[in-house]
Structure 1
Amino acid sequence: MSQPNPPLLGIELPGTGTHPASWRRADSRAEELFTAEYWLDAITAADAAGLDLVFLPDSFALQVEGAVGRLEAVGIAARAAAATHRIGLIPEVPVTHTEPFHVSKAIASLDFATHGRAGWEVGVSAGQAGLFGRKGEQDAPSRWHEADEAVEVVTRLWDSWEDDAEIRDEATGRFIDRDKLHYIDFAGDNFSVKGPSITPRPPQGQPLVAVRAADAHSTRVAVHRADLIRVAATDLDEAVRVRGELRGAIAAAGRDPNLVRVLLDLDVHLAETPEAAAADLDRLEAWTPTASNTLRHIGTPASLRDLLAEVRTECAGDGVVLRPLAVATFVTRLPAVAPTLRDRLGLPRPINRYALTA
């Protein structure tokens, strides 16, 4: 089974860590969670270490355990844009109660701010309809059907300006060529959007779309829409099987599997020795016992590198998303590769669908 080169290394930054007791560690900086400095320090450290992607989870719901409360992921990414140099910034934006026009504009703006390093992780919202009062609660199939339509609208809006729509003709006073702005005329079950966007086409053409393939509904959207598909597995054998099934489904959907990256989630805790890492985990578990279905690595930076090499050798993923149990302990380093996020992934800049038919 082929695997694109080079493998990607990402990190997810869920507050103080994926372990719900991580905020209780003395080094957690939990008191700074709602400051720009906390997030800038974590993201710029990942950037300096050579990581390829940072995922910023978000939700309209409060956490049920651990540190409670959230800053908005797109806002965090925008704050980090000027402070980082190569890492791809991928905030999660739930679409169940968010208009795709707003999502399109926000992610396009982030792509401009980062000079082509933006992405969007598609999320859905369960149990939060009462926060908005606009519609009733939806079941999983309808939420993901709506998300599928939202991705279609967002990506059409990114294409609604041709690349050379801005002409800035001082002599005639024409800033844009209106013939190169296009109505998207989308009419679906959940949205009816005429367009065009009010934001020019982003530097990448299409910022990367990421989807977690967590069930049949999200997997279907991932297979048809995503550039990055995140998966969880209990071991490498399961990861190999899941990646193979996804690549087959992507091909069956008429897409090239080599243009889609399957990223394996990996819960990780690192220390100077395996014994120290295990002791840290024991303390976290004593505070709040957990059960996880996600592959977990408790060890040292060297043993993590060995595992990452095994992931590649076994074709268990086109890359890994590290999910630190406690963010403050994260240490690893990979070299820089290419200037823009799509270039780094070896993905071509998409041709504008409207320019083709103009």
Structure 2
Amino acid sequence: MSVPFLLGIEAAGTGVHPASWRRPDSRAEELFTGGYWADAAAALEAAGADLLFVPDSFALQQGGPGVTRGRLDAVAVTARVAARTRRIGLVPQGAVTHTEPFHLSKSIQALDFASLGRAGWEVTVSPGAEQAAAFGRKPEQGHPALWHEADEAIEVTVRLWDSWEDDAEIRDIPTGRFIDREKLHYIDFAGDNFSVKGPSITPRSPQGQPIVAVRAGAADDPATAVAVQRADLIRVGTAEPEALAAQRDQLRAAVTAAGRDPETVFVLADLDIHLAATVEQAEAEVAELNGWHPAETAAAHIGTTDTLRATLVALAGAVDGVVLRPLALAAALPALGRLGHTPPESGATLRDRLGLARPASRYALGGAR
């Protein structure tokens, strides 16, 4: 499989810097409108980005009155922007801790239909007492328990995606049968956290199984174990190229040990960025952001389109792609358009463009229930 270096963008409101809303170009007054997100997604697609990640959480942002507070639902946002885009992959975060996999499976499949096969799902968990209290259904969970539950939730979700065979819809007018009931399957999952009979109420979507992304931590992190077992895209933190290359090798070895083909799993490095016409201007703008609200920006790439391009060239041999996280999204949009990234041209769906086969339903193949 030969896929070019992947360029993902994480669109976190007006930017990952908590004071980015104070910039005059931020469009903060439009943040909770569909138009804001549709414009941003269209601009990122025009800039050549392969993937749009939209973060989400059930917790309000921390930091007091000086930071952006409030969120829209990431799956709903990506569904809204699907109509304004044609190629870019749409990967919202969806937390599993206080939501049911049946609901998430249906939402991501609906996004896959709305985007004509460009949906992904970044699996997240909801740590802390605040989010547990917001739902009131169960107490706070520890990190290992959260990711054990996430592992089960992914299994349930993928089984539900498979529970309709591709040709289950027959729409036979003479007999009046819309579906062939024999091609809908109970998943009969029983685990420590979920007991789900199924089948889904949503037909199998264009990709069969939308793309799954997971952020990995250290080698012994429970999230990493889930990533190597389940993810098509594995996100890792910022590091020097040598360290990233070593981490990718470790992840690929773990993927192989899990019985999966490492060539079908992409390791993407997160990179916070702020871009301006000159390095000096970029540094001054970040200093202004930190003057409004101090934030950790030491690991960010602060520079120009040219300096970022050089950084990406250096990373190209270490990882399979990057996820750029603009400190101020509005400042990044025009600069990314000059980056010159060329996305894969072939393929109608996100799976096609990643060179990943469309999986057959396990139930159509007589797989285990």
TM-score interval, normalised by the smaller of the two chains: over 0.9
Q: Is the 8 A contact 1:264 1:316 kept in 2?
A: no
The residue identity in structure 2 corresponding to 1:273 is T
| Corresponding residue for residue 116 of structure 1 | 117
The residue identity in structure 2 corresponding to 1:231 is V
Q: CA RMSD in A?
A: 1.4
- Provide Cα deviations, 1:280-319, integer angstroms capped at 9, x if missing partner: 11211222222258x521111122112111111xx22100
Secondary structure of 1:97 counterpart: coil
Question: Within 5 A, what are the aligned runs for 1:249-268?
Answer: 249-268=254-273
| Corresponding residue for residue 319 of structure 1 | 321
Q: Residues 21 and 270 of structure 1: is their aligned pair in 2 closer, same or farther, counting only changes over 3 Å?
A: same
The residue identity in structure 1 corresponding to 2:114 is A
| Corresponding residue for residue 100 of structure 2 | 99
Secondary structure of 1:80 counterpart: helix
Once residues 72 and 101 of structure 1 are traced to their aligned partners in structure 2, the CA distance between those partners, rounded to angstroms, is 17
Q: Which runs of 5+ in 2 are unaligned?
A: none
Q: Is the 8 A contact 1:224 1:250 kept in 2?
A: yes
- Deviation, structure 1 residue 4: 4.8
| Corresponding residue for residue 207 of structure 2 | 204
| Corresponding residue for residue 348 of structure 1 | 357
- Provide Cα deviations, 1:32-80, integer angstroms capped at 9, x if missing partner: 1111111111111111112110000000000003211100101101111
| Corresponding residue for residue 298 of structure 1 | 302
Count of residue pairs the alignment pairs up: 353
Q: Which runs of 5+ in 1 are unaligned?
A: none
Question: Within 5 A, what are the aligned runs for 1:184-199?
Answer: 184-199=187-202
The residue identity in structure 2 corresponding to 1:89 is L
Secondary structure of 1:110 counterpart: helix
| Corresponding residue for residue 30 of structure 2 | 32
Secondary structure of 2:319 counterpart: coil
Question: Within 5 A, what are the aligned runs for 1:1-358?
Answer: 4-65=2-63, 66-127=67-128, 128-215=131-218, 216-291=221-296, 295-312=299-316, 315-330=317-332, 331-333=335-337, 334-337=341-344, 338=346, 339-357=348-366
Q: Is the 8 A contact 2:4 2:343 kept in 1?
A: no
TM-score by length of 2: 0.93
- Provide Cα deviations, 1:231-285, integer angstroms capped at 9, x if missing partner: 0033222211211111111111111111000000011111111111111112112
- Deviation, structure 1 residue 125: 0.3
Once residues 292 and 298 of structure 1 are traced to their aligned partners in structure 2, the CA distance between those partners, rounded to angstroms, is 9
Q: Percent identity?
A: 63
Once residues 130 and 332 of structure 1 are traced to their aligned partners in structure 2, the CA distance between those partners, rounded to angstroms, is 40
